[in-house]
Amino acid sequence: MSIGTSRASYASTKRCSASRVGSKRSARWPTKNRDAIADTLYEALDDKIGNLATSGTEEDYVEAVVSYHILGEGVAARTAQNLAASQYERYGDFPGLAEGQRHVARDEARHIGIGVTYLRQMLAHHPHARD
């Protein structure tokens, strides 16, 4: 996939992302109570995001968006939220936690939306990138 870098939105989002890469990598992902599958996923995610700090091409950015916004936020985070919400219902009345979880879910939906919107724009401007 070859994507041109002429779009202003890529440049501005890359600057924003690059400033976050260092903080994400230095903070690292949580390690408590993780299994081998989670370790593998976090390592792959760290590699994709880390590529932004080293080469920072638009292709690296697209891969990071897919990895973080679509797979991380869209699959892993949403699954964890659904599991947590079901536990609140199962074990009793936790209105504060349930409300907090609704706010987190709304925030995560925005993160997913940012990634999906970016990818839609990229594909609209670079239809050959579908290959």
Q: Tens-digit pLDDT profile for the chain (131 aa)?
A: 444 443 445 555 554 454 444 444 444 556 666 678 777 877 888 888 888 778 778 888 888 888 888 888 888 888 888 887 777 777 777 888 888 888 888 888 898 999 999 999 988 988 887 76
**2 domain-assigned:** no
**1 domain-assigned:** no
**104 domain-assigned:** yes
Task: Judge if pTM exceeds 0.75.
Answer: no
**41 domain-assigned:** yes
**52 domain-assigned:** yes
- What is the C-alpha separation between 45 and 50, in angstroms, rounded? 8
Domain assignment of residue 75, given as a range: 8-130
**3 domain-assigned:** no
Contact 35, 90 (CB under 8 A): no
Please give the tally of structural domains in the chain: 1
Distances (CA, A) of 94 to 61, 77, 109: 39, 20, 22
Instruction: Give which of 106, 95, 21 is closest to 61, Cα–Cα.
Output: 21
Q: Which two tokens stand for residue 129?
A: 């990138």
